Structure 1
Amino acid sequence: MPETDALTRDHMELEDTRVTRRYFAMFEAITGHLARVAGQFEAEGSLTRAEVNLLARYMIALGYTFRALANKYHMAGRAEGLGPGKLTFDREESGFPVHAELLQMASDAAQAGRHMKGMPGQDELRRQMVEEIVGKLQVPTRLQYAMSQRLYYEELARGEIFWPQMHPDVVWLGNDGEGRDLRRRYLVHWAVYDSSLNIPTIYLMDLEDTGRTALPKDERRWPEAQAHLMAQAVAGLKLVTIAGGFDRDFDDLHPKRLRRFHIGPMYSSAFTRQTGPLKAVLEEAHASVGEDWALAWTMEDLVSERVELEKSGWFGSVEREIFSLDPFDGAADSGRTRMDRAIILPQRPFQVLAEKNPPGFREVRKFVVSPGGRVLSYR
């Protein structure tokens, strides 16, 4: 119970209509910049075009998630006694909506068609609103709420949302060798909305396949591989644990590289209770509405440095990946080769951050968003 109480204290409901809309407007702006940040990594060679395209798809899906939630809670605080209540978000650790919000959204999506059958369409709702405003001289609060829910379910019905679990899929990158030496190369990708951190987490795995049947067409291996990867998609697990376990469970699938992207936390002096240097930076920036935020972007990277043959059965052998763990930055204990940290923030908070230059941020990559939406990179 004490742990549950502490977790609940970290969560906060947005009760005021204007505050709720400001929160979603801020995230609409933030998610709109993420694909451009990924493009910066491509321009410098840190990510390939295929990897950027996949990351962009997840970023767009995240934007649709916030759009759906913005519709759902559009009338929060004004339509008392109606509807879904108030948005709950994590004000201590992530700044994002809590995991339960996305679980509820996934449940709503499964029943979106049934809900919309019992609702008037947008045109009919607009007609009724005009009639109530002009004919009865009343604010059509209930009709506005009905419209917000109609838009919410329409967004869910379109799909392309960032769900609590985004199951593994593959992009074929090409083949090496021929005949028995054929190795198919894939980029496997999946994502979760991590329930412990309340932030979106994206995984990319470079994989070589030496099986008889191409992995996506293999009716046995592919479902097993998908289930294995989803079960291991937990922020608390080290990358070497995930990749090493996968390597041992599938003798003809060889993970050459595994990356994990944490999109968040989000910090804002208006919404979150951060501590440390960022607290002072955001408070001293006195940024205008919509410019008072900073978003962390962290990439963990694990790379295979060589292959060793391990005896299998009486006469056979299988390849086992030996992963590179860099001991100089503590990565050996954390189970990764390296970790790259970045922060995305508007110009005014960046100016204050540059002036203060706190020690913990000197090695952090900075992506600065201009008022026009352009993203600039600073080290």
Structure 2
Amino acid sequence: GLLNPELAHRFDDFTEKNSAYTLSPATIAVNLDKDFEPLHPKQLRRVVLGPFYSAGITDNNSTVTEVLAKVRKPENAWLLTWTIQEVYSKAEKPGRKGLFSSEKTTQEFFINTDDLEAARQGVSSYENHALIPHEAYQALYAAGEAQKIFAGYKVHILSNGQVISDV
């Protein structure tokens, strides 16, 4: 919730109604702008966790499942992916007050229509990430599958309790 007590309960209600994955970040941002007169959101970011792949548990991707099954230690036979979605305001449409009608100030949000996946997600930009233990990454790399599986992902490798990024 929010620290402002005047908005806190309304915001909690808003998050309940607007937290479904089926709503695009652009829809959530427009609803936030519309429902809260004093707030004018310039940016909205959402983190979508998953899928989580694990040898013997999930069967989402046969290639990943086959390679993870070859990892020696079962506790290292997993892969977690997540997506960071972002939508931002490209302009602010000023409000107007007239004698018979008025319009409040609203944001115009940018949707990147040059990127088909960004347009499908309803976002300005997005980033795909993957976290994988070192042993599992080595197995995927040795099988010649790492580049194909991680195409379009920022890869983070967990090795000896440390995370190595941008591999």
TM-score (norm 1): 0.40
**In structure 2, what is the Cα distance between the partners aligned to 1:367 and 1:324?**
29
Aligned length: 163
SS of alignment partner, residue 237 of structure 1: coil
SS of alignment partner, residue 90 of structure 2: strand
State the Cα deviation string for residues 339-378 of structure 1 (Å, max 9, x = none): 11111110111123333234352221111111x2011012
**In structure 1, what is the Cα distance between the partners aligned to 2:63 and 2:154?**
16
Aligned residue among 135, 146, 153 for 1:364: 153
The corresponding residue for 1:302 is 87
Contact 1:342 1:365 in 2 (8 A): yes
Unpaired runs of 5+ residues, structure 1, are 1-167, 171-215
Structure with the bigger percentage of strand: 2
Unpaired runs of 5+ residues, structure 2, are none
**In structure 1, what is the Cα distance between the partners aligned to 2:102 and 2:26?**
25
The corresponding residue for 1:320 is 106
In structure 2, relative to structure 1, the CA distance for the partners of 1:318 and 1:272 (3 Å cut) is same
SS of alignment partner, residue 55 of structure 2: coil
Residue 350 of structure 1 pairs with residue 130 of structure 2: no
State the Cα deviation string for residues 198-233 of structure 1 (Å, max 9, x = none): xxxxxxxxxxxxxxxxxx132xx3311221122110
SS of alignment partner, residue 29 of structure 2: helix
Structure with the bigger percentage of helix: 1
Residue 292 of structure 1 pairs with residue 80 of structure 2: no
1:317 CA displacement:
4.9
**In structure 2, what is the Cα distance between the partners aligned to 1:240 and 1:225?**
17
The corresponding residue for 1:373 is 161
**In structure 1, what is the Cα distance between the partners aligned to 2:62 and 2:16?**
34
Aligned residue among 60, 66, 69 for 1:283: 69
1:245 CA displacement:
1.2
**In structure 2, what is the Cα distance between the partners aligned to 1:301 and 1:324?**
10
**In structure 2, what is the Cα distance between the partners aligned to 1:360 and 1:325?**
27
The corresponding residue for 1:238 is 24
Contact 1:277 1:358 in 2 (8 A): no
**In structure 2, what is the Cα distance between the partners aligned to 1:312 and 1:272?**
57
Q: How does 1:248-287 map to 2 (within 5 A)?
A: 248-284=34-70, 286-287=71-72
The corresponding residue for 1:164 is none
1:251 CA displacement:
2.0
State the Cα deviation string for residues 257-276 of structure 1 (Å, max 9, x = none): 11111222221112112224
Contact 1:345 1:368 in 2 (8 A): yes
Larger Cα Rg: Structure 1 or Structure 2? 1
Aligned residue among 7, 11, 20 for 1:225: 11
In structure 2, relative to structure 1, the CA distance for the partners of 1:333 and 1:369 (3 Å cut) is closer
SS of alignment partner, residue 350 of structure 1: helix
